[in-house]
């Protein structure tokens, strides 16, 4: 929000991975003065560049980082789905209630408001039950 208001790039240095995941749209993880991965919070959790990055992100709560877009079924047809809709950019933690409470998969809308796929209860449950990247990487 500050970046939007100030129209400036902001560099924030922290050793708290959870804090970085909440605040940043891009994160650089460094080791010995070198950047080992520069990615979005989602990509750091889903595709760590190496064991160092995986260890750094292992305790991150996946549902608070992953968006609907990262776990939805992009090939699923949203035609005929009449229940609630959610945005692809929404975090899993924020849509868990409506998706888990829906009888059918929930339509996912892109930034233009058009349906781009659907997300199932099972997809949301998989993220919620995995808990952290540590749980996901070892299951």
- Strand 27-31 and strand 106-109: the pairing is unpaired
CATH classification at residue 101: 3.10.580.10
Residues 13 and 37 reside in one and the same domain: yes
Last residue of a domain, one of 60, 80, 105: 60
| Total domains, the chain | 2
Q: How confident is the model at residue 8 (pLDDT cuts 50, 70, 90)?
A: confident
Range of the domain at 52: 2-60
Q: Is residue 135 part of a domain?
A: no
Q: What is the pLDDT of residues 78-123, one digit of tens each?
A: 777 778 899 999 999 999 999 999 989 999 999 999 999 999 999 9
Q: Are residues 55 and 72 in the same domain?
A: no
Asked if 106 and 119 touch (Cβ cutoff 8 Å), the reply is yes
Q: Considering only CA atoms, which of 45, 19, 21, 49 is closest in space to residue 37? A: 49
Asked if residue 129 lies in contact with residue 88, where contact means CB atoms within 8 angstroms, the answer is no
pLDDT tens for each residue of 34-89:
999 999 999 999 999 999 999 988 888 999 999 999 999 888 777 777 788 999 99
- The answer to whether position 40 is within a domain reads yes
pTM of the model: 0.78
* 111 within some domain: yes
Instruction: State residue 136's pLDDT score.
Output: 42
Residues 74 and 96 in one domain: yes
In a domain, 90, yes or no: yes
């Amino acid at each position: 929000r500050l970046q939007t208001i100030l129209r400036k790039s902001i560099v924030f240095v922290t050793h708290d991975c959870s804090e970085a995941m909440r605040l940043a749209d891009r994160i650089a993880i460094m080791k010995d003065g070198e950047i080992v991965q520069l990615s979005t919070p989602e990509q750091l959790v889903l595709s760590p560049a190496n064991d160092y990055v995986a260890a750094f992100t292992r305790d991150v709560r996946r549902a608070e980082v992953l968006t609907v877009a990262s776990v939805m079924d992009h090939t699923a047809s949203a035609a005929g789905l009449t229940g609630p809709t959610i945005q692809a950019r929404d975090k899993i933690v924020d849509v868990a209630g409506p998706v888990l409470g829906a009888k059918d998969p929930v339509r996912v809308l892109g930034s233009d408001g058009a349906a781009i796929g659907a997300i199932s209860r099972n997809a949301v449950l998989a993220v919620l039950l995995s808990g952290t990247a540590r749980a996901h990487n070892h299951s």
